[in-house]
Amino acid sequence: MTSDLRVELHITGVVQGVCYRASARDKATELGLTGWVKNNVDGSVEALAEGPASAVEQFVEWCRRGPPAAEVGEVTTTRKVGTGEYDRFVVAR
């Protein structure tokens, strides 16, 4: 079964060293999404989330704020049709 929506996110700002990945994983899991989140070497964070469109949009809005210690600069998104290839949401290394 494929998910309704897949979104790829690129998040900039103060988003590393502030529990962004763990918090994003927790939020995605709470929303019933699958996918991953990881740090990039340039200091940004990248994420891929799949699930029902309304839950994916809630996750995108959360990513624009992030956890309390984060200072999110910009969030770029690419929306696609879900593939159903993930079975949970993880912090990728």
| Known catalytic membership, residue 88 | no
Task: Measure the CA–CA gap between 62 and 68, rounded to whole angstroms.
Answer: 11
| Known catalytic membership, residue 21 | yes
List the beta bridge partners of residue 50: 6, 34
Catalytic residue selected from 39, 64, 79, 93: 39
Helix, strand, coil percent values for the chain (each to nearest 5)? 25, 40, 35
Catalytic residue selected from 21, 40, 65, 93: 21
By annotation, the residues acting in catalysis are 21, 39
